[in-house]
Amino acid sequence: MPLRCNGNEIIVISSAEYGRMELGRCITEPNEFMGCTNDVLPLIDRWCSGRRECVVGVPNPKLEEFNQNCLKVLIKYLLLKYSCVPGKGDIMQFIICMFIIIIISIVDIIIIIIIIIIKVLWAFELPVNNDCSSSRSTSLIGAEGMISSSTYDIKGCGSHNSPWIISAQPGQTINISIIDFGTHTESSNLVSCPVVYGYVREGALGINYTICNGHHRERAVYSSKTNKVEIEILPRRIRRDKNFVLKYIGELQKRSSLFKYIYVSFTYLVIGCI
């Protein structure tokens, strides 16, 4: 069963059931074993979510390991629901990333030196850098958006030397959540952060928050105190080949109410704030 998204979109699996839910070509008569199903979303997440394409074969011994509700001799099938969502790293974002690299590189170089370097590159046909690995930072524009871990794996954007910088409007904070395609199901809570995905930094306050692998597929990650944060994504080998998508949104800071109490005497007025 091939799954594929177009362009720079990535696969997000919403449900995955394995069993014998309905009649079909293999079973045409109803029986008492019909309607059995097993949730295999964690397994299909690891195989497909966060990627541009994947292939799931049925029958598959890995799927049978999740089978708890159907007879082993029963012919089973896989029912998937998925969508293709855009992740950061599309062609326009790639062009912006390259533009920032060029601007930072030439800020202290005079026009004559730039012309000479361009002529040398043309003369020797040197390869052009096509990733974000040499950039100091990559800014994201907009009140909300998504960042895919695959963008780092393909182009290097979001690394330690090239972190994502998210800036909201003055007076706003930034809420960051995660869709985790590599959730762990171990019952032990001895390890608080089994796999480190990356870091959220709020430089103005000196905060360095760790993004961890967790039990829940969708969960809140971090709420900023200011309107600017940096996000670093770790390499795939450190993430143990796990994929995820970060969602961010700018929100207005909560204002305290005007007064908690007003006390008046003949000589002075006291006003207290919440």
Tens of pLDDT along the chain (274 residues) come to 788 888 778 889 999 898 877 765 555 555 666 778 888 998 889 889 888 889 888 888 888 888 877 887 777 888 889 999 886 555 555 566 667 777 777 776 778 887 777 766 554 443 334 456 555 555 665 567 888 888 787 777 888 888 888 888 888 899 999 999 888 765 545 667 889 999 999 988 889 999 998 888 999 999 999 989 999 999 988 998 889 999 998 887 665 444 444 444 434 434 344 3
**Structure tokens given for 247:** 């969602």
User: Which residues does 253 contact at the CB level (< 8 Å), separation at least 6?
Assistant: 171, 172, 173
Looking at residue 257, its pLDDT comes to: 44
**Structure tokens given for 83:** 């969508």
Looking at residue 7, its pLDDT comes to: 76
Looking at residue 90, its pLDDT comes to: 52
Looking at residue 73, its pLDDT comes to: 74
As beta bridge partners, residue 148 has 245
Looking at residue 202, its pLDDT comes to: 92
Q: Where do the domains of the chain lie, and which CATH numbers do they carry?
A: 2-86 (2.60.120.740), 136-252 (2.60.120.290)
Looking at residue 101, its pLDDT comes to: 75
Exposed/middle/buried for residue 155 (C-beta within 10 Å: 0-12, 13-18, 19+): buried
DSSP assignment of 94-150 equals: HHHHHHHHHHHHHTTS-HHHHHHHHHHHHHHTPPPP-SSTT-S-EEE-SSEEEEEHH
Amino acid at 65: E
Looking at residue 97, its pLDDT comes to: 63
Whole-prediction pTM: 0.57
